[in-house]
Structure 1
Amino acid sequence: MPALAISAATVAALVISFAFYAIAPAGPAARTGPTEPAADRPAAWQIAVELLRGAVTAALVAGLLRAAGWNGPAAGALLGLVLWALPLVLLTGSVVWERVPVRSAVLHAGDWLIKLIAIGAIVGVLA
């Protein structure tokens, strides 16, 4: 797995999430829990965690693309779309069992959809 592909996809995922949540029509209320105040800026540790999550996701997508023998942005984007089923299922469970607001889950699902497609396309081009 080329480090360049994983690094580029990791940075892209971080930028996409920050941009997505900055312009999300649901606003800060949907991004926070019921008793959690909305924060203007993420803490340094939160950014570090997001970078790690993006790197793990990009490495996983790169590994799956390689294992399947696929390459190119279309194959990567398609894989990202298919993998979106995982966060979708997890977020649905959080709505049903943990009382996460539907609006919040939809917001996060949209973020994951865009990120996974972008990660797949980037890794598909560079890997």
Structure 2
Amino acid sequence: MLKYELIPAQLLYEGSINNDNIFSPAFCPDEIILWTHDKTYLEKLHRQTLSPKEQRHIGFPQSPALTQRELIIAQGTIDCCHYAMQNGIAMNVAGGTHHAFAERGEGFCMLNDMADAA
């Protein structure tokens, strides 16, 4: 999504941050996602087998790119927790996908990055 590129660009432009403040998270490992999410649900995400009803609850049509983005967002929030402990502050511009439940997505959230990070 374009907004995830525009927010850091604007913060850099304003001088609120510098390039040293930006990080790019990896994919969150399934082992961590499974701390808070049901294995069957995670398998549906990976296999792209959510039902039309499940997709409507999320609010997005299912795609591999969306699943990958959600895994990166989750790892980004986990990384932010570590950076905040080290530096006193951190922000994941894509984070806050807290509407997802253990067994389903909801409210434009496929995974609950906040629960994963906790």
Regarding TM over 0.5, the answer is no
Larger RCO of the pair (alpha carbons < 8 Å, separation 6+): 1
TM-score by length of 2: 0.35
Q: Select the structure that is richer in helix.
A: 1
